[in-house]
Structure 1
Amino acid sequence: MAESAVSFVLVKLGDAFVKEVLHLHGVSEQVEKVSRELTRIQAFLKDADTKHVVNERQKQWVKEVRDLAYWIEDLIDTFFLMVPERKPGKREAVKRLFVKTKKLPAVHKLGDEINQIMARIQEINESRVTYGITNIGEGVEGEIRQPIQPLVPSDVDEAGIIGFDEDREEIISLLLDEKTTRRYVISIVGVGGLGKTTLARKVYNSEAVKRQFEIRIWVTISQTFELIDILQKIAEQLQIEPPKDLSEHQLNKLYQALTNKKYLVLLDDIWTTNLWPLIEAIFPDANNGSRIIITTRFLNVAEVADPISVPYKLQFLTEKPSLELFLKKALPNRNGNEECPTDLYEISKDFAKKCGGLPLALVVLGGLLSRIPASYVAWDKRRNTMNWANDGERCLAIINTSYEDLPFALKSCFMYFAAYPEDYKIDVGPLLRMWIAEGFVPQEENKTLEDTAHNFLEDLAQRYYFIFFWK
């Protein structure tokens, strides 16, 4: 994120209008020095990234650079907030602007603050050597990356369900069981990354289930939730007026909309036992075979939802489906085991074994290897340099390695997703414009910023698509 902040400031300082205004105030030479030093610092930041900075002193240096960039950006923004509306590119307008603003307090302090910034840059440059961030051009050479393939949602869906065919059929049979007419809850329980949501989606969208239930509702809950939001999402899918509050009258509207209907409600990713007692009353039990599916990491959540129903505990993938899923992601243009080169087959088994049957880890690791040459040398090098962890830390270690493998410009874009709430539906257009506004997207020859940003999103989606669906 620090390099993006520096890049954004350099773009601002390079603006022709900004240059001319600063020239009229007699500080252009100082600003040019700041710009040159920032350009050098930007190069060191890229070098630090290729060397995978993990040293705490180096991390502190990167933080200091980021704070410096924000300081400069704030100075520029504060200065131009003090000046009236302007017309860039017109010299006479600049002259009038100078006359109107030359006596502003911000203008008088501009030179002094730039001097302070130069002094801070000097300190940062001196500390850079101490922190060991040196030798531009001698960083780790990045591997050749494979071209981005267009996303095909159907392929993604098939890759995600590998190894869960029996689970899917068993849950569907529970849903369609005519002997059990009471409304009951089927709980899919398992650790994070096991594929609960993917399995639930496959069940939810099966043709047999679609034919059986008059109403189907899907609501994602997640770790933090507001009850009114959940009820409004249910009302939206029922195509009725959403409740304005949690009064009995408002809740009764939802109850009536489901009365005498055979419905399937899927509550995805429940984290707490508190939700079900709050929401249960809106789901009528007319002994007509209505069903509720919940996905959760916690057995006690399932027990609270329906003490009689036996939770469906999702298991880790066995060796064969693990390898199949890994190869499907690592070699996306080949037909899994059948077209896996002989020299890669054994090393692929080792990679799959390291993931311990956790689908998310298999998908992420496979996606990581799909970005480097499909050769034994390249894969063995990756295997030997990975920081393999144990048990619950395994998946995080693999995801972290995948993040470190991202091209430099993509890292800030990826981290930007943390600004959104969990399970939030993100509109692509505004997201890309925010990336551009933040300075994350560099100008590429013969491409608009929008085109480059869209390519960034395609690349991230190809690498991390399953992160947004596997739970």
Structure 2
Amino acid sequence: MAESAISAVLGNVSTLALQETTLLCGASSEVEFLKHELNRLQGFLRDADNKQRRGDEGAAILVSQIKDAAYEADNVMEAAEYMRKRNRLKKGFMGAIARYGCLPSDLSTLHKVGVEIKSIRRNISEIFEYATRLKIVDDLGHTCIEKVDIDDELPQDYGPIHQNFEDIVMVGFENEYKEIVGKLVDTEKSLSAISIVAMGGAGKTTLARRVYTSPGVKRHFEAVCWVTVSQKFKGIDLLNDIMKQITGSTHRPEDQMQEHEVGKKIHDFLLQKRYLVVLDDVWETDTWEQLNRKVKAFPDATNGSRVLLTTRKEDVANHVPMPTNVHPLKKLDEEKSWELFSSKALPSYKRSAIRNVDEFEKLGKRLAKKCDGLPLALAVLGGYLSKNLNAQIWSDILSDWPSTKNGQMMRDILARSYKDLPNHYLRTCFLYLAAFPKDYEINVAYLIELWIAESFIPHTPNHTLEETAQRYVTELAQRSLVQVVDRSRAHGWIEGIRIQDILHDWCIEEARQDGFLDAMDKTDWPSWCIIIV
């Protein structure tokens, strides 16, 4: 959604407007006017964005103009905020003047800020005129404006999340889990591989990670590592990651170790170890050859070492040059689909408050069947519907269900859940997750610091910024938009999350289209480098 382009700007403007007006020496009135103008833009931006997605060229121009105006406003706000903070640091008599009046050195800066704000306001007025003239927005004067003031809060729905995402998605895959663990720890001595193959959203990565972290596997192997390969990868990057995981150390950038040197170091270390290497999300048939092209990094010491890979392509699953067990992951049957869907859409802590639970179950079973046995679709749709316990909404979704292929079905479900997030702050926080590498375990405390630093978290009554951000994480987890991988045993707070690869890809595409961030694909950059715009 293009509205995320002005989310951080509104946060900066709101924060600045709360400061002492004398700090801006008269420019504060311009700041307040700018805040109102940006709020007006927020009010009808969704209409323009929806029309843009339907191919309306005029709406596309409007959305682009709005984003440009928002970023210009953000630059001005940063300049004003910098001046305010600088003056607060000044001491003595000059500091008093800086805090309660205006220093001569500030006058030119203030004048420039005021002029730029007026220019931005003129641009915004032209945007309104353009939208009205071309009738891009249906009813500009009566568009529902989303609340973006500092008291913007989430609905109070924070029932317990008793299970991690991995526990829930194991519904229907218990036998596969036991079978794969058994093959990894069997008595066969030669190096061999197990390939889990299934379409996106079928749960193969989550099943593999559950296997990878199982107590039996941890006890059996002396060295383990997990790397996400994806469509574009550099062999040296994967080898460096593997070396760091198995040895606990890495070379310094200035050492400039060559690929064959890293491979040799891995080989020498693993030669005396029974190891497990997991290659997640493999796309190319020659991936294993690329990792071993300079030197055979993964030796066969006939000690029961194993390779586990996940892929969407059957030819990739069969191509690994060693004895391989290919394990096609089946979709969930109707019974298991309903079990997973109902655990998300109708959790136990909500059922007691639902009067007509039978009606919801009847609709829910039909909706679960529409998800075609895909765990991700079932979990995300169930999470969305748990926030919309209205039988008419469920019935409308069933009636409007798109008759499309699985890929587009997943996109429709993700887009619906994203748009249903309570406010633009939370939507922006979700898109920000695309800035992390695929399959990366995100430390929530660190993530919250980043959100606050980016002004994505609003001031809410009776809550600190950290508390509000923690509630945002909980909201995303309840909707299955993030996977919970770690939580505090003391108080139950979520401490670690991960975003599923399909959701990660969707976030990057949405954020790039929104102008929120972009991904750099250059040979001299890390393979996952993301640029925040």
- Does 2:111 match 1:116? no
Alpha-carbon deviations, 1:323-367, whole Å to 9, x = none? 21111221222799xx99432333222111211111111111111
Corresponding position of 1:147: 157
1:459 aligns with 2:469: no
Q: Highest CA radius of gyration, 1 or 2?
A: 1
1:323 is aligned, of 325, 335, 338, to 338
Task: Give the SS at the match of 1:85.
Answer: helix
**Correspondence list, 1:195-344, <5 A:** 195-239=203-247, 241-242=249-250, 245-246=257-258, 248-280=260-292, 281-306=296-321, 308-333=323-348, 341-344=357-360
Aligned position for 1:356 = 372
Aligned partners of 2:42 and 2:145 also within 8 Å: no
For 1:119-158, what per-residue CA distance to the aligned partner results, in whole angstroms no more than 9, with x for missing partners? 22221232343322535475899xx967123444x44332
CA apart distance, 1:282: 1.7
Q: 1:156 aligns with which of 165, 172, 176?
A: 165
Aligned to 1:404: 419
Q: Provide closer, same or farther for how the CA distance between residues 290 and 199 of structure 1 changes in structure 2, counting only shifts above 3 A.
A: same
> 2:174 is matched by which residue type in structure 1?
D
Unaligned runs of 5+ in 1: none
When normalised by structure 1's length, the TM-score is 0.84
Q: Distance in 1 between matches of 2:265 and 2:175?
A: 38
Shift of 1:99: 1.5
Query: Is 2:161–2:478's contact at 8 Å kept on the other side of the alignment?
Result: yes
Q: Return the alpha-carbon distance in structure 1 between the equivalents of residues 261 and 302 of structure 2.
A: 24
Report what 2:182 is aligned to. Answer: 173
Q: Is the deviation greater in 28-37 or in 322-331?
A: 28-37
Kindly report the root-mean-square deviation, in angstroms, between the aligned alpha carbons of the 2 structures: 3.6
Paired with 1:380 and 1:139, the residues of 2 have a C-alpha distance of 27
| 2:200 alignment partner in structure 1 | 192
The equivalent of 1:74 in structure 2 is 75
Q: Tell me the percent identity.
A: 35
Judged with a 3 Å threshold, the aligned counterparts in structure 2 of structure 1 residues 86 and 160 are, in CA distance, closer, same or farther, namely same
Of 365, 380, 390, 2:381 maps to: 365
State the distance in 1 between where 2:302 and 2:193 align. Answer: 13
User: Given the superposition, is the C-alpha separation of residues 9 and 18 from structure 1 closer, same or farther in structure 2, using an over 3 Å criterion?
Assistant: farther
Give the counterpart letter for 2:196 in structure 1.
I
Q: CA deviation at 1:182?
A: 1.2
1:445 to partner: Cα distance: 0.6
Q: What is the CA distance between 1:297 and its match in structure 2? A: 1.5
- Aligned-partner Cα distance in 1 for 2:388–2:212: 36
In the alignment, is the contact (CA less than 8 A) between 1:7 and 1:42 conserved in 2? no
Shift of 1:29: 5.1
Moved more, 119-128 or 53-62: 53-62
Partner letter of residue 121 of structure 1? I
Aligned residue for 1:311, secondary structure, equals: strand
Q: 1:87 to 1:311 in 2, by over 3 A?
A: same
Cα distance between partner residues in 1 of 2:234 and 2:372:
35
Return the letter of the residue paired with 1:381. Answer: D
SS for the counterpart of 1:173 is helix
Task: Figure out how many residues of one structure are paired with residues of the other and give that number.
Answer: 458
Question: Does the 8 Å CA contact 2:172/2:332 hold for their aligned counterparts?
Answer: yes
Equivalent in the alignment of 1:61: 62
Residue equivalent to 2:513: none
Calculate the TM-score normalised by the size of structure 2. Answer: 0.75
Per the alignment, residue 134 of structure 1 pairs with 140
CA separation of 1:194 and 1:91: change in aligned 2, threshold 3 A: same
Judged with a 3 Å threshold, the aligned counterparts in structure 2 of structure 1 residues 211 and 198 are, in CA distance, closer, same or farther, namely: same
Correspondence for 2:487:
none
Say if 1:119 and 1:413 are closer, same or farther in 2 by CA, change over 3 A: same
Partner of 2:493: none
Matched residue type, 1:131: I
1:5–1:66 Cα contact (<8 Å) kept? no
Residues 181-217 of structure 1 show CA distances to partners (whole Å, capped at 9, x for unaligned) of 2111111111111111121122223343334333333
User: In the alignment, what sits opposite 1:92?
Assistant: 97
Deviation string, structure 1 residues 346-398 (Cα, Å, up to 9, x no partner): 3222111211111111111111111122x533421333355553332111111
> What is aligned with 1:468?
499
Q: Distance in 2 between matches of 1:358 and 1:212?
A: 31
How far 1:287 moved relative to its partner?
Answer: 2.0
Between the aligned partners of 1:212 and 1:44, the Cα distance in structure 2 is 58
Cα distance change, pair 219–119 in 1 and its aligned pair in 2 (3 A): closer
Contact 1:83 1:97 (C-alpha < 8 Å) held by counterparts: no
Secondary structure at the counterpart of residue 265 of structure 1: strand
CA distance in 2, matches of 1:115, 1:431: 35
What is the aligned partner in structure 1 of residue 516 from structure 2?
none
Q: Aligned partners of 1:119 and 1:334: how far apart in 2? A: 51
